[in-house]
A and B are shown apart, each in its own frame.
Chain A
Amino acid sequence: MIPTDIAQTIIDPKAYAAQTPVDEAFKFLRREMPLDVAAPEGFDPFWVVTRHRDILEVERQSELFHNGDRSTVLANRTADQKVRAMMGGSPHLVRSLVQMDNPDHGYYRRLTQPYFMPQNIRKLEPRIREIAKSFVDRMAAKGGTCDFARDVAFLYPLHVIMEILGVPEADEPLMLKLTQELFGAGDSDMNREGKIATNEDEGLAAIMATVADFVAYFNKMTEDRRAHPRDDVASVIANGTVNGQPLGHFEAMSYYIIVASAGHDTTSNTTAGALWSLAENLGEFAKLKQNINGLLPSFIEESIRWVTPVKHFMRTATDDAEVAGRKIAKGDWLFLSYPSGNRDEEVFDDPFAFKVDRMPNKQIAFGYGAHVCLGQHLGRLEMRILWEELLPRLEGLELAGEPRRTEAAFVCGPKSLPIRFRMH
Chain B
Amino acid sequence: MAYRTWQCENCGFLYEEEFGLPLEGISPGTRWEDIPDDFVCPTCGFAKSQFSMIEI
- Interface contact A377-B12, CB-CB below 8 Å: yes
- Interface contact B45-A368, CB-CB below 8 Å: yes
Alpha-carbon gap, A60 to B10, bound state (A): 12
Interface size of A as a range: 10 to 19
Q: Give the residues from 1 to 56 in chain B that come closer than 8 angstroms, CB to CB, to chain A.
A: 7, 9-12, 14, 23, 40, 42-46, 54, 56
- Interface contact B12-A59, CB-CB below 8 Å: no
Instruction: Kindly list chain B residues whose C-beta atoms are within 8 Å of the C-beta of A368.
Output: 43-45
- Interface contact B54-A119, CB-CB below 8 Å: yes
Instruction: Kindly list chain B residues whose C-beta atoms are within 8 Å of the C-beta of A60.
Output: 40, 45
- Interface contact B44-A369, CB-CB below 8 Å: yes
Alpha-carbon gap, A383 to B49, bound state (A): 32
Alpha-carbon gap, A360 to B42, bound state (A): 13
Interface check A117, CB cutoff 8 A = yes
B55, chain A: closest CB distance, angstroms: 9
Instruction: Kindly list chain A residues whose C-beta atoms are within 8 Å of the C-beta of B46.
Output: 370
The interface bits of chain A over 89-131 (1 if a CB of B lies within 8 angstroms of the residue's CB, else 0) are 0000000000000000000010001001111000000000000
Name the residue of chain A whose CB is nearest to the CB of B14.
A118
Q: Which of B11, B54, B56 contacts A372 (CB 8 A)?
A: B11
Interface check A79, CB cutoff 8 A = no
Instruction: Kindly list chain B residues whose C-beta atoms are within 8 Å of the C-beta of A117.
Output: 7, 12
Interface check A366, CB cutoff 8 A = yes
- Interface contact B23-A59, CB-CB below 8 Å: no
Instruction: Kindly list chain B residues whose C-beta atoms are within 8 Å of the C-beta of A113.
Output: 9-10, 12
Alpha-carbon gap, A377 to B42, bound state (A): 15
Name the residue of chain A whose CB is nearest to the CB of B41.
A372
Q: Give the residues from 356 to 402 in chain A that come closer than 8 angstroms, CB to CB, to chain B.
A: 360, 362, 366, 368-370, 372, 376-377
Interface check A56, CB cutoff 8 A = yes
A369 with B7: in contact, given A116-B12, A119-B56 (CB under 8 Å)?
no
Instruction: Kindly list chain B residues whose C-beta atoms are within 8 Å of the C-beta of A372.
Output: 10-11, 43-44
Alpha-carbon gap, A124 to B9, bound state (A): 21
Q: Could you tell me which B residues sit within 8 Å of A by CB distance?
A: 7, 9-12, 14, 23, 40, 42-46, 54, 56
Instruction: Beyond the given A366-B43, A368-B45, A372-B11, please list 18 additional residue pairs across the A-B interface where CB-CB is below 8 A.
Output: A56-B45, A60-B40, A113-B12, A117-B7, A118-B14, A119-B54, A119-B56, A368-B43, A368-B44, A369-B44, A369-B45, A370-B10, A370-B46, A372-B10, A372-B44, A376-B11, A376-B12, A377-B12
| 10 residue pairs, one from A and one from B, having the closest CB atoms | A372-B44, A60-B45, A117-B12, A372-B11, A360-B23, A369-B45, A118-B12, A368-B45, A377-B12, A369-B44
